[in-house]
Amino acid sequence: MIKGIAAKGKKLKAGSLNLKKKGQRKVGKKKSSRMKVSSAALNKANATVAKLEKESKAAAKTSITAKKRAVAAKKAAKKTSKAKANTAKRAAKSAQNTAKKAAVKLAAANAKIRTAKAKARAIELATIEKARKIAEEAKRKADLEKAVATFTDQWNRKRDKAEA
């Protein structure tokens, strides 16, 4: 079978290879023209997000291992003799509780990441807006100076004509 990307609703023919190159965009989609900004607050927010993501990865690993241990303890509890059954059951229950706690930690970490990302996005948008306002003000001043220069130039020409 030939791997490739066919148009929607059409089958890929054996002869044509319609492979997409890495980084290739769909025709008609334009690149986002978002302003790139940087500020101390934005850098701090992004660093916080990165730190929280690292913590979340660790929590995810812990959660996975705790789940595996709980499953293993449950299987072991089923196989044990009646004399050791109570101890094995208690161990399985303990492992299950540990797994639940790890899952709660993971959920909390993910929630923290969501809020941190939202904060970072808000800071970025505020910084972009501030930069846009500054750029607009500069453009307004430049336009005003240009208009004044044009007016004085015309005024001087008219006066020179009248004097001549």
Alpha helices in the chain (DSSP H): 40-79, 85-163
Distances (CA, A) of 111 to 10, 54, 118: 42, 14, 11
Instruction: Give the pLDDT of residue 121.
Output: 94
Distance CA 98, CA 95 (A): 5
Confidence category of residue 113, pLDDT binned at 50, 70, 90: very high
What does the domain layout of the chain look like in residue ranges? Answer: 40-146
Check pLDDT > 60 for residue 20. Answer: no
Instruction: Give the pLDDT of residue 152.
Output: 97
Q: pTM for this one?
A: 0.60
Instruction: Give the pLDDT of residue 22.
Output: 56
Instruction: Give the pLDDT of residue 1.
Output: 44
Closest CA to 52 of 103, 95, 115: 115
Contact (Cβ atoms closer than 8 angstroms) between residue 65 and residue 43:
no
Instruction: Give the pLDDT of residue 77.
Output: 86
Closest CA to 92 of 111, 106, 112, 72: 72
**What amino acid is encoded at 64 in this protein?**
I
Residues sharing a CB contact under 8 Å with residue 74, sequence separation 6 or more, in sequence order: 92, 95, 96
